Amino acid sequence: MKQITLGRTGITVPQNGFGALPIQRISKEDAVSLLRKAYEGGMRFFDTARAYSDSEEKLGVAFAGMRDKVFISSKTMAETKEKFRSDLETSLEKLQTDYIDIYQLHCAARCYGEGDELYEALKEAKKQGKIRHIGITAHKIGVAEDIVKSGLYETLQFPFSYLASERDIRLVRDCAAAGMGFIAMKGLSGGLLTDSEACMAFMSEYEALPIWGVQRESELAEWLSFFTKEVRMTDEIRAVIEKDRAELLGEFCRGCGYCMPCTVDIVINQCARMSQMIRRAPSQNWLTEHWQNEMMKIENCIECGICKTRCPYELDIPNLLKKNLKDYKEILAGKPV
């Protein structure tokens, strides 16, 4: 397993991190068991956030008494220094620790710099020893590029998978040149990518630390298997990647859910990518009466545009929903998938 050093932080871990967003959906007992199995299997980097409901609490229980054996990153969506301080204290309490290895501004709308109260709060927390390294996450490439150019942050977390554009790849290389650690989120592009070996082989070619979202033992087993078998890019894997890129590149929803909630109760983060999901998972899973009812809610869209203002990828969501509904109706009418 390739080791990754996150820039000037000096943090060196296997290139195989644990994304703890999904564990908020399972019981504490199951989550703790999953996290401990991840550690036993070789994972050392665990990413969570204040916004992930009880995810931090579950990490705190799992790693109580062994804090020095893992690296933990967390995040705040605070917009004021007061909320920042409150979130940080809550995270420390829930994680059962007196420090967080990397503390990140979550889904930043811009690069916060010297003089901005959030950046000053980060520096203050680092000086106090409550955080060891200053990080930030972004979804918009322009914002991410500004962050790298600023030289103010030690790590950047950004979506990165084998559907990446040349601009995305250049961002990863610019991070390395700037001495910044790059943490890759959405390595499966919101569940659209299903070949874990291809995903891992792609990551191995870059100075990037992927954090795979894990909820089930079967998922964890796939990622842990790469600690005992070599993963490298091959012609066969390149063919898989090129096929997926041909099918998926363009305007597509990553399923992040930042657009929600919808004013007319459309499950946007699933319905806006139904055309891809129905072709990449057993079709019947998406043709149930439940999902037919959910998809038909698209007909109630009033095009208020609120979802568009929230989408970090600036997608034309109302139009994307309509395209997916048209395709879905054609599939129900008998069009092959």
Q: 60 and 188: one domain?
A: yes
Last residue of a domain, one of 194, 220, 237: 237
- Examine the pLDDT at 284 and tell me if it is beyond 90: no
Per-residue confidence (pLDDT) for residue 229, from 0 to 100:
92
Last residue of a domain, one of 187, 216, 237: 237
Tell me the residue type at 48. Answer: T
Q: Residue 251: which pLDDT band, with cuts at 50, 70 and 90?
A: confident
Q: Residue 262: which pLDDT band, with cuts at 50, 70 and 90?
A: very high
Q: 231 and 273: one domain?
A: no
Whether residue 122 lies inside any domain: the answer is yes
Pairwise CA distance, residues 83 & 6, whole Å: 27
- Examine the pLDDT at 281 and tell me if it is beyond 80: no
Cβ-contact 166, 183 below 8 angstroms? no
Of the ranges 21-30, 80-89, 249-258, which one carries the lowest mean pLDDT score?
Answer: 249-258
Q: 103 and 171: one domain?
A: yes
Per-residue confidence (pLDDT) for residue 257, from 0 to 100:
87
Residue corresponding to tokens 């007319």: 264
Q: 162 and 273: one domain?
A: no
Q: 219 and 147: one domain?
A: yes
Q: 39 and 99: one domain?
A: yes
Whether residue 202 lies inside any domain: the answer is yes
Burial of 174 (0-12, 13-18, 19+ CB in 10 A): middle
Whether residue 126 lies inside any domain: the answer is yes
Tell me the average pLDDT across 307-311: 93
Q: 183 and 108: one domain?
A: yes
> Is the CA virtual torsion 264, 265, 268, 271 positive or negative?
negative
Tell me the average pLDDT across 1-18: 97
Kindly report the average pLDDT of the chain as a whole number: 95
Per-residue confidence (pLDDT) for residue 290, from 0 to 100:
96
Share of the chain above pLDDT 70, in %: 100
Tell me the average pLDDT across 281-306: 92
Q: Residue 277: which pLDDT band, with cuts at 50, 70 and 90?
A: confident
Q: 129 and 86: one domain?
A: yes
Q: Record the pTM.
A: 0.89
Per-residue confidence (pLDDT) for residue 192, from 0 to 100:
86
Whether residue 248 lies inside any domain: the answer is no
Whether residue 255 lies inside any domain: the answer is no
CATH number of the domain residue 27 falls in: 3.20.20.100
Of the ranges 26-30, 119-123, 310-314, which one carries the lowest mean pLDDT score?
Answer: 310-314
- Examine the pLDDT at 283 and tell me if it is beyond 90: no
User: CA distances (Å), 321 to each of 187, 280, 303, in order?
Assistant: 24, 18, 10
Q: 294 and 224: one domain?
A: no
- Examine the pLDDT at 48 and tell me if it is beyond 90: yes
Q: 319 and 189: one domain?
A: no
CA atoms within 13 A on the CB side of 208: 29
Number of domains in the chain: 2
Tell me the average pLDDT across 173-194: 95
Domain ranges, residue 291: 268-332
Per-residue confidence (pLDDT) for residue 63, from 0 to 100:
98
Tens digits of residue pLDDT in 209-243: 999 999 999 999 999 999 999 899 999 999 999 99
Per-residue confidence (pLDDT) for residue 282, from 0 to 100:
73
Pairwise CA distance, residues 52 & 225, whole Å: 27
